[in-house]
Amino acid sequence: MRTNTTAARAKINVQIPLETREKLSEVAALEGKKVSVLVRESIDEKIAQIRRRAFEEKMKAAYQGLAKENLRISEDFKHADAENIP
């Protein structure tokens, strides 16, 4: 399966332990892919994971900020709610 074949490409050189290179070759063969494709996919997955974690942290902080605001507002109106109870 080829994806994004028209995208501009850049070459990078990385050094990895020989054992890791052997594992990459094994997994690439199992998947029926070239090692370079497997590495690109792995990098893309890691980037997505990091971005997702950062987004979740932002959402958590925003939710916690809103929770404090919601508690404050509910405190302001707790007596008004009690007025409507017979």
Domain extent at residue 67: 18-83
Q: Which contiguous run of DSSP H or E holds residue 52?
A: helix 35-83
Is 45 within a domain? yes
The pLDDT value given to residue 4: 59
The pLDDT value given to residue 72: 84
| pLDDT (average), residues 8-22 | 94
Is 9 within a domain? no
pTM: 0.65
Is 77 within a domain? yes
Question: In the chain, how many domains are there?
Answer: 1
Q: How many CB atoms lie within 10 A of CB 49?
A: 10
Is 32 within a domain? yes
Q: How far is CA 23 from CA 7, 27, 39, in A?
A: 28, 6, 12
